[in-house]
Amino acid sequence: MDVLRTANPVWVGSSELTMTLDGITACIDAGAGAVVAKSVNESAAARRQLDIAGYAFVSGDRRVRPTGSADLGDGLLNRSGLAQVELDEWLGVLAAAVEHGAPGNCPVLGSITLGDANAAARIGRAMAAVVPAVELNVGAPHGREARAVRQLTEVDAVHDAVRTVRAAVDVPLFVKLPGQASDVVALARAARSAGADAVGLVGRYPGFLPDLDGGAVLGSWGAWGSPACLPMSLYWVAKTRLALGPGTPLIGTNGARTAADVLRFLASGARAVEVVTALWIKGPGVLADLVAGVEAYLSGRDPEEFAGSALAGTRDYADIPPNPSPAWLPYTAPSGR
């Protein structure tokens, strides 16, 4: 990616795994191409929300797994908050992490989950003094439940927030967008027009799961990520690639658990892919498997040509010729029932 040089396209996304220097350095040492540090913002309420965090790994048949027995195919429903640290202390952590990652060409990014745009600009300006790039998350799924963070789903709101932060940040600015919006491509275009250097697609979705014994899993609403979200994430990556062109760097997120998933993001038009839940399940060591799998597949291929390659020949419905025989026949209900 021209905006930010990295060792490989397998990145670690912002999460509790990247909330400490030890966590960040573990990801660096395991082979991450880049690491996005845990998000912060100006709100004490957002930090307090971490005190009520909850996590439930959910199997394909909607059973909550016992602690420590999650599988890579599981979904994750969670309730979370932001890093509980003052900004000056956090800048010191980021500076140390950046220094640790530099020899292996693994940049460490600062991350801000939007609360107030002017406050985000002040934080971004301070971060830019110690990190090579800043991620602005305007798509936090918890923004629908927690007043301390915001989820922006309207074009003007995204444009205004990005423009405000862009004016204060003199390093590359990456903007992470929600998946639950009427037109994510329009949000990506707005972010770019306001100065975003790259766009992250897409954040997790709001979720809710009754436990059938009374109440709900986690006892609340939550944020949902899953391998089943992968085609939904790839839809917006592919559509944004087509609309904005290969000159817009896209970072995929939400759904990648295996090397094949990372490659599907790249084939859809992403230039890098953030993974989180696979590390929660398998530990940072899974990064070596992901990187090796991606590199093995791309060996002998031009990564630039592979990026977006799945879009070649992909057609709109109106341009698809009729099937030679009715494809829907196997899906009709059996007679007599």
Q: Among 186-195, 300-309, 326-335, name the most confident range.
A: 186-195
- 188-227 pLDDT, tens digit per residue, is 999 999 999 999 999 999 999 998 888 999 999 999 999 9
* Averaged confidence pLDDT in the chain: 94
- Residue 140: its pLDDT value, please? 87
d(CA 139, CA 136): 9
For residue 337, pLDDT over 60 is answered with: no
DSSP state of 162: H
Q: How many domains does the chain divide into?
A: 1
What is the C-alpha separation between 298 and 88, in angstroms, rounded? 41
Answer whether residue 4 is part of any domain. no
**Digit-coded pLDDT (tens) for 218-234:** 999 999 999 999 999 99
Tell me if 109 is assigned to some domain: yes
Residue 214 lies in a domain: yes
User: What gap in Å lies between CA 191 and CA 331, rounded to an integer?
Assistant: 42
**pLDDT at residue 278 in the model:** 96
Q: Which residue segment(s) compose the domain that 91 sits in?
A: 10-331
Considering only CA atoms, which of 186, 19, 187, 196 is closest in space to residue 90? 19
CATH number at residue 189: 3.20.20.70
142 in a domain, yes or no?
Answer: yes
Phi–psi pair at 216, nearest 5 degrees:
-135, 155
* Any domain includes 5: no
